[in-house]
Structure formats: C-alpha cells, structure tokens
Structure 1
Amino acid sequence: MKRLVPGVMLALVATGVWAQTPYNAETTYRKLIRDYPFITIASGEAPATVQVRKDLVYLQHPDSALALDLYLPAASAKPAPLVILVHGGGWASGDRAGMAPLAARLAARGFAAATVSYRLSGQARYPAAITDVKESVRWLRENAAAFGIDPARVVISGASAGGQIASLVGMLEPKAIRAVINIDGLSDFTSEDARKNEDDPNKKPSAAGAWFGGRYSETAPLWRDASPITHVGKDSPPVLFIISGVPRFSVGREAMAAKLASHGIASDTVALPGTPHSFWLFDPWVEPTVEAMDAFLRKTL
C-alpha cells in the first residue's frame, strides 16, 4: 500500500455486496420516520464560504483506492484545526457521505473537516479499517500546509462503528491526535452489555463477529485489542462522548471515562435524550451535535 499526494482523484471507492441493506441516510430515514415523523435528512451541502475538495486519494491498495473529502473553511491568517470524521455502518456498510452534514457545518464554523473512507469488513477484517484511518491521519498531517491545516491541532471523530474506530485510533495515536469525539460508538467490545448484542449466537455472524472473523470465545484477543478502553493511558487525548437515547450503542463509555480520569485526562458526555441511533444524519439533531462538538473543541484546542 502507498500514500498518495494531494489532487489525485478517486479511482475506486470501497463498496461491496456483503452489505445486504446499505447504511445511509435514505435507508435509515425509512426505518425511523414512523416513530420520528418530524425528522428530515440533513443536507451535506456546504455554504459558499466553504471550499470542498472531493475524492482525494490518500491510500492505494492493490484492489482499491481509498479517498477522503476535505471541507476547508474561509481563508484565515492562521492554519485551521482539523476534524477527521469516520462514518458508521456496522464496519460492513456506510460511506463517508454520511458525515458530510457534520463536515459542512464544522467548516462553516472555522474548522477544516475531512470525511474518510476505509475498508469494510467484507473487504478486509480487523484491523484493516484501523490501519486505513491511521493512514488518513498521516496523509492529512503530512499535506497540512497545502490545505491550510494546522497539523498540531488534529481531532478525530466518528459515529457508531466510526465512533469506535475514531476513539481507538485516538488512543493508539496520542502524539498525532489532540482530541477524540465519539458519537454513539462502543468503547468496550468485551463488556457483558456489549456482548449481549455483538456476540449474540442468533446473529450468524454479528456485525462485530464478521469484522473480527469469529465470536468472542474464538477471537477474544481481537475483541480486546479493538476496544478503545484497552489502550487508555497517561498520554491519551481528551474525549467527548455524544450519545443517543439508545444505551447499547455507547457501551463502555462510563468505564472509559473513569479510566481516563484515573490518568488525569478530561472527558465529557453530551446526551441527546429521546434520539435514535443515527441521529447525526437528521435534522433537528445535526445542529445540537455540531454545537456540542464546537464547544468541546474550542475548550480543548
């Protein structure tokens, strides 16, 4: 695999037939509209002040090219802090377009934002997605000057499976990542509450089981290694947890916050009561999500 220079366009986006129902705003809207008739799909259109650089290839694999979309704020005398956004979809589906509404709004507030693609579980099992996202961090930091980005102020965020990935990368790369924002993603695969869903024998396999290539009893070291809480240490970055009204998706949060605190590292939780999982894809919940991210970032950076 090799990292590429800015301006190279995407040749092939990672997709796959293993995702029976694509995870995106449209399919999720159809599931939620009966119980939440007031929601609308959030727009990913950027305001005129924001420059969007799409399909920048950051990593070339033998069978696919991985790309990111970069949302740059209005020109400023100082380089902009960067928020890297990792999409959800159970490690098996989804794409970076799902993070566009957050990226566009963050850029309008003065942050650079990058939405990134990574290999899904049908293409490559754990830790391939982690390797990919780490490479996106490196590529963006190495090319920061070309985009007016401050490489010393890089934040990683993600939602659902992307929240777990972002949190894990943040714990593994504390020298590169200044802060983590985990939006409704797991912090501990090995906890009993997580395994009730992710190690359910009736799911053949579960989303996590497909990613790890086996159930907990078969691949326990991978389940531990993929848990962000496992890697919390004295140098870990601060973390913001933004959680929905469905507790199972953010399992491990309280234990991870306690472990961070034991090292003197700050964390915070913003709860959006009554919201479904995937709330970040829809109005009226995008704005409070961005407000929480903005407040945390300005305090932390």
Structure 2
Amino acid sequence: MNLIDRIIFVACLMSLVGCQTITQVNDPSNTYTPETTYQKLVGDYPFIGIASSSVPESVMEIKNITYQRYGKRALQLDLYLPKRPAASSVSGIVLVHGGGWRSGYRTNFTPMAIGLAERGYVAATITYRLSDEVQYPAAIHDVKAAIRWLRKNSKKYGVNPNQIAVAGGSAGGQIASLAGVTKGLEKFDPQMKRSAVSSDVQAIINIDGLSDFTSEAARFYEDDPRKNPSAAGAWFGGRYAEKQDLWREASPIFYVDKDTPPILFLISAQPRFSLGHKEMIEKMRPMGVPYQVSQIPDSPHSFWLFDPWLKPSVVIIHEFLLQQFSWTK
C-alpha cells in the first residue's frame, strides 16, 4: 500500500469511528467570507471573481481533522495533499485565516491550499479560537499546536519535518508571523515542555498583516476611539493605553534575532495593513535573516481570496519556499 492509499484508508477509518464529527459551521455574526468581501470590492474591481474551492483530480482533500482539544472544544483543520506520490517527503505549510482576530473561516484559505498542493505542498487550513471566545494569546497557542500536529504526523502525510512554514492573511498574517518568531517561549506555546515535537517553523509568510501594533500609524487604525472596542482592542481586552505591554508583546517586530526564520512579506497596494514590515526588515537585515517583499500591484486587502490575484500569490509563495528550503533536507 503506497502513501496515498494509506492516507485514504486512515481518513476513511477515522470517519467510521467518529473522530471527525465536528465540522465547521458558519456563524451568522461571523461575516468575513469571500462572498461578503466580494460585495465590498466588486464596485472598485469589477473584473474580480471569487477563487475556486473546487478540488482538482491532482489534489486530495481530507476535511475536519481534529488537531487540538480544549475539553469539549475541538479545533479542526482541512488538509490538502498532492495525489501523485513524491520521490521524497515534501514541504508542509499551515495557513491561518484573517478576520480582525474575531471572524473568518479556515475555508477562506481553501483555494490557496489547493494551489499549493498542486505545486507539491501539503497544506493545512486551520480553525483557531477567535477573540469572542478567548482573547490573546490563545490564537498563537492554537497555531503552534497545528504546526506541532503537522510535524508529529509528517511521516503519515509525507511531509519533511524540517520544511514546515506558517502563513496567514491579514490578522492571520500577524498571528502566523508572531507564532513563527516566538520559538522557545512558553508563554506562546504551553505544550512546549510536555511535548517532544517542536512547533518551530523554517519559514514565515505574512500576507498583508501587521508587524507592529505599537507604531503611531498602526494605532491610528487599530486603536480607533470611534470603535468600542476596536478589533485589536477586543483581542487584547483593552486599548493601547490600558494594555501597552500586550500590544507590544504581540508585535512580531520585537522578536527579531539571528535565528528568526526567513520571512516573505506578501503585501497589497493598501499600506495600512502591512504596517511595520519595513521597520522589521531594518532589524532583520544586519542579522542576515533572509526576507522578501512582494507586492501584488493595484490590489485591495484580501486579494488572496480572488482571481486574478490568487495564482500569482501562490507562485510567489512557491518560489520563496523553494529558495528557502533548498538547503533544509
């Protein structure tokens, strides 16, 4: 039985024994979806279309895998794999959806996961706890748990455990970036001391997400006094003046060191959403940390949800990871 046949067998067995009974259910109050975003953007970008979530013959989809439990709360992921057996293990990538830390669905990243699987990656789209359920830093705990799950199951799914990346869009980009730069810090990884499996990543892809909550420009949007609370304020449980330590602690820019993983900043033409990446690069450069900045021209925020921007985004990520993983065999 080859690898793909084993994966199919395991997925079917799990379904039979009831290990995948909790599925992603849309919450009417959770409005960050490709459909609602399309309605906001189509007037200014009449040529766009929602990227397809149809799974091609070349890709295998395994849905509703529980990767972490908190009591009765099950966090799940969907896995996308290339069907063609690889000559060796392939790179893995965990994808973190956006939505202002309080909304969004893992299915928002399904089209990108499919595109990456078509290029030979094993891609996992994950559900994590949003701010109306648990505040910061719970989402970081969840992302690290998903990374650990993928590494723990790397042999089963043909993933190279030394080639795992984390990526996210918007708030998910900030979450992914923070998860990637905080290796070895138990505050962000409660499982660290009781697990022999690492949650470290070898690359980070921050898609139009903040790198610094504390800058004046970021606070202009994220600490807007007209919003009570703002999206960031709801996540932190208070405004900047009330929770300065948390706003700083959640900013990836303050964790740069010589061991920081390579980072791709994939940004839109709307600079407010990727604030802090230039300053973060200024810290990375003298330490020799690899980085790349790629902008999708004339694009809105959430560009990765739509054609014609999804495919070039996947190509940029693919080429970045090829370059970064060429030496981590």
- Give the TM-score of the pair, scaled to structure 1: 0.94
Change (3 A) 1:259 1:177: same
Deviations 1:206-263 (A, max 9, x none): 1000000000010111111111111111111010001101100000000111111121
Q: 2:286 aligns with which of 250, 254, 262?
A: 262
- Give the TM-score of the pair, scaled to structure 2: 0.87
**Corresponding residue number in structure 1 for 2:195:** none
**Corresponding residue number in structure 2 for 1:75:** 85
Q: 2:157 aligns with which of 128, 147, 150?
A: 147
1:33 matched to 2:42? The reply is: yes
1:10 is displaced (CA, Å) by 4.6
Change (3 A) 1:272 1:107: same
**Corresponding residue number in structure 1 for 2:232:** 208
1:196 matched to 2:220? The reply is: yes
In the alignment, the residues of structure 2 paired with residue 294 and residue 161 of structure 1 have an alpha-carbon distance, to the nearest angstrom, of 22
In the alignment, the residues of structure 1 paired with residue 237 and residue 26 of structure 2 have an alpha-carbon distance, to the nearest angstrom, of 19
Q: 1:96 aligns with which of 80, 92, 106?
A: 106
In the alignment, the residues of structure 2 paired with residue 88 and residue 298 of structure 1 have an alpha-carbon distance, to the nearest angstrom, of 25
1:229 matched to 2:239? The reply is: no
In the alignment, the residues of structure 1 paired with residue 272 and residue 125 of structure 2 have an alpha-carbon distance, to the nearest angstrom, of 25
Amino acid at match of 2:116: L
In the alignment, the residues of structure 2 paired with residue 202 and residue 62 of structure 1 have an alpha-carbon distance, to the nearest angstrom, of 37
Deviations 1:77-114 (A, max 9, x none): 21110011100000100010000111001000111111
In the alignment, the residues of structure 2 paired with residue 146 and residue 98 of structure 1 have an alpha-carbon distance, to the nearest angstrom, of 26
1:173 is displaced (CA, Å) by 2.6
Amino acid at match of 1:103: A
Contact 1:184 1:244 in 2 (8 A): yes
1:46 is displaced (CA, Å) by 2.3
Contact 2:174 2:209 in 1 (8 A): yes
Change (3 A) 1:149 1:143: same
1:161 matched to 2:171? The reply is: yes
Contact 2:223 2:230 in 1 (8 A): yes
Change (3 A) 1:10 1:260: farther
**Corresponding residue number in structure 1 for 2:7:** none
1:13 is displaced (CA, Å) by 4.1
**Corresponding residue number in structure 1 for 2:310:** 286
In the alignment, the residues of structure 1 paired with residue 289 and residue 207 of structure 2 have an alpha-carbon distance, to the nearest angstrom, of 19
**Corresponding residue number in structure 2 for 1:86:** 96
1:51 is displaced (CA, Å) by 1.0
Contact 1:232 1:259 in 2 (8 A): yes
Contact 1:10 1:67 in 2 (8 A): no
| CA RMSD between the two structures | 1.6
Amino acid at match of 1:38: F
Tell me the SS of whatever aligns to 2:141. Answer: helix
1:63 is displaced (CA, Å) by 4.4
In the alignment, the residues of structure 1 paired with residue 46 and residue 146 of structure 2 have an alpha-carbon distance, to the nearest angstrom, of 37
Bigger radius of gyration among the two: 2
In the alignment, the residues of structure 2 paired with residue 148 and residue 178 of structure 1 have an alpha-carbon distance, to the nearest angstrom, of 17
Contact 1:16 1:122 in 2 (8 A): no
In the alignment, the residues of structure 2 paired with residue 279 and residue 180 of structure 1 have an alpha-carbon distance, to the nearest angstrom, of 19
1:15 is displaced (CA, Å) by 6.6
Change (3 A) 1:21 1:57: closer
Amino acid at match of 2:22: A
Report the number of matched residues. Answer: 295
